[in-house]
Amino acid sequence: AQSVSQHNHHVILSEAASLELGCNYSYGGTVNLFWYVQYPGQHLQLLLKYFSGDPLVKGIKGFEAEFIKSKFSFNLRKPSVQWSDTAEYFCAVSSYSSASKIIFGSGTRLSIRP
């Protein structure tokens, strides 16, 4: 079955630390990849997306993600986190075989110590 795995359930970092959140998927074929962010008490917002082209994608607020096709991965990175990055982060994947659906990972909660 198609699935998306986020292995880090809760990550705690200090301000200015570097961040990498893992995302692996099990689709074959062509995929579209997304990272969404959910700030406390808010709805999900798109952070960045990959459809094709340069596998290193830059998003809002200094986030970036790298698509590594051979590893079925789309990890999210940020060189220096801020307290305001405290949120839950969801990786998501869609494909032309996923029947009109985007599959979301279970999320990673990021807590930043001021």
Partner 1 sequence: NAGVTQTPKFRVLKTGQSMTLLCAQDMNHEYMYWYRQDPGMGLRLIHYSVGEGTTAKGEVPDGYNVSRLKKQNFLLGLESAAPSQTSVYFCATSDTPTYEQYFGPGTRLTVT
Binder of partner 1 out of 18, 26, 42, 111 (CB under 8 A): 42
Q: Which is nearer to partner 1, 52 or 114 (CB)?
A: 52
Query: From CA 2, how far away is CA 39, in angstroms rounded?
Result: 27
- Report which of 37, 11, 20 is spatially closest to residue 104, judged by C-alpha positions: 37
Q: Which is nearer to partner 1, 19 or 107 (CB)?
A: 107
Q: Look up residue 93 and give its two tokens.
A: 């994947």
| Region of 11-19, 63-71, 73-81, 87-95 interacting with partner 1 (CB under 8 A) | 87-95
| Region of 20-28, 57-65, 71-79, 90-98 interacting with partner 1 (CB under 8 A) | 90-98
Binder of partner 1 out of 67, 90, 110, 112 (CB under 8 A): 90
For residue 7, the minimal CB distance to partner 1 (Å) is: 13
3-state class (DSSP) for residue 107: coil
- Report which of 107, 114, 111 is spatially closest to residue 47, judged by C-alpha positions: 107
* Bridge pairing between strands 108-113 and 10-14: parallel
